[in-house]
Structure 1
C-alpha cells in the first residue's frame, strides 16, 4: 500500500496520507503552508548547526507506517539534499501544522507514533484555534510532559545541547 501511495500523483494543493485508518486526501491551506515556511525559517536562523527539513518520511517504517511531519530539523552533518527519508534517531523534534482534516490525527494518533519512535519533542501548531501544544519526554511510547499556549507566546524546544525558541506570533491563523 505504501508503494502504491508513492505512485499516485495529485495536484500540489492536495496531499495523500496513509494512516492507520487508510488513505486520506489532505487539502493544504495557505495558513498551513505559510506557518510551515515560517517555522522552517526560524529553525534556519535560530538553531546553529541544524537544517530545517520538510516534505519527508521518517524511517524505519513501523507497523507499516512512515510518518510525514510538516517540519523538523537535522544536524547539518546528517542532511543530504538527495534524500526524502530520514532516520528517526536524528530528529530532535517534529512539527505538525493542523489542517481541518488532520486535527484529530495530529492530537490523538500522531503523538503515539512519534513517542514510540523516541523523538524527544512533538509540536502541534493549530492554525484553526491559534494555539500550540508541545509534548516532550517520551517514555514507553507516551509523551510525559505537555505545554501549550496561544499564538504570540514563545515556544522553547530542546534541540540537543541548545534550545530553539520559536516566535509563534509569526504563525498564520485560518
Structure 2
C-alpha cells in the first residue's frame, strides 16, 4: 500500500522523492520503490481509454481510497468516477464511488497486487479490480466481491480485450496498447 495518511504528504515533501520513485508502506515498513516507464505509459493509456470509451465518467489516478481501513488508504493507479461527482481539487475518493480500480504491477509490488490488494479492494466492496502486469504482459480481472474476496477471475495476455462492468455500461480496454518492461 502506498503511504496515504495525513502526515505522509509532509513526509514526501521533506524527502523530495524523484518523480520516478514512490514511498510504500509494506509489512516491512517504508520502502522506496522505482516506477518504470512501462508502468507510467500503461497507466496513461488506460486513463486515455477510460476517457474515450466510458461516457459520463472521469478517469482518475494518484488518489487515496477512503475511508482508511486496517490503517491503510490504498492509492490505485487508475479508476473512474461519475463526471458529475468529479472534484478536481480532491486527492481522496470514497470507496463507494469506485466501480473498479486498476493496479499496474511494479517489480516490488507483484505479490501484493495479486493477493493483499485484491483482498483489500474486495473488503471495500469495489465491484472490479484489474491487475495489469507489465512484467509478464498479462492481465487479471477480478469481479464479484463477497466475504472479503473476489468470486470471479479472468485473465489474458496483452492484445486481448478487457471488459469491465461499470454500472449499466461496459468499459472495453484494448490491452494491445499496454507496454511491457
- Does 1:55 find its partner at 2:62? yes
| Alpha-carbon distance between aligned partners in 1 of 2:26 and 2:122, rounded to the nearest angstrom | 16
| Alpha-carbon distance between aligned partners in 1 of 2:134 and 2:87, rounded to the nearest angstrom | 30
| Alpha-carbon distance between aligned partners in 1 of 2:108 and 2:27, rounded to the nearest angstrom | 15
Alignment partner of 1:41 out of 42, 48, 52: 48
Specify the alignment match of 1:5 in structure 2. Answer: 8
Show structure 1 runs of 5+ residues with no match: none
- Give the drift of 1:21: 4.1
4+ residue stretches of structure 1 with deviation over 4 A?
A: none
Q: How many residues are treated as equivalent by the alignment? A: 174
- Give the drift of 1:24: 2.0
- Give the drift of 1:18: 2.1
CA contact (8 A) 1:5 1:18 kept: no
Q: Give the TM-score normalised by the residue count of structure 2.
A: 0.93
Relative to structure 2, which stretch is displaced further, 14-23 or 161-170? 14-23
CA contact (8 A) 1:26 1:102 kept: no
**Alignment map for 1:133-152 (pairs within 5 Å):** 133-152=140-159
| Alpha-carbon distance between aligned partners in 2 of 1:48 and 1:22, rounded to the nearest angstrom | 40
Specify the alignment match of 1:94 in structure 2. Answer: 101
- Give the drift of 1:75: 0.3
Specify the alignment match of 2:166 in structure 1. Answer: 159
- Give the drift of 1:35: 0.1
- Give the drift of 1:3: 3.6
CA contact (8 A) 1:55 1:84 kept: yes
| Alpha-carbon distance between aligned partners in 2 of 1:77 and 1:24, rounded to the nearest angstrom | 36
- Does 1:116 find its partner at 2:110? no
| Alpha-carbon distance between aligned partners in 2 of 1:76 and 1:20, rounded to the nearest angstrom | 36
Q: Give the TM-score normalised by the residue count of structure 1.
A: 0.97
Cα RMSD, aligned residues only:
1.1
| Alpha-carbon distance between aligned partners in 2 of 1:159 and 1:92, rounded to the nearest angstrom | 6
Specify the alignment match of 1:16 in structure 2. Answer: 23
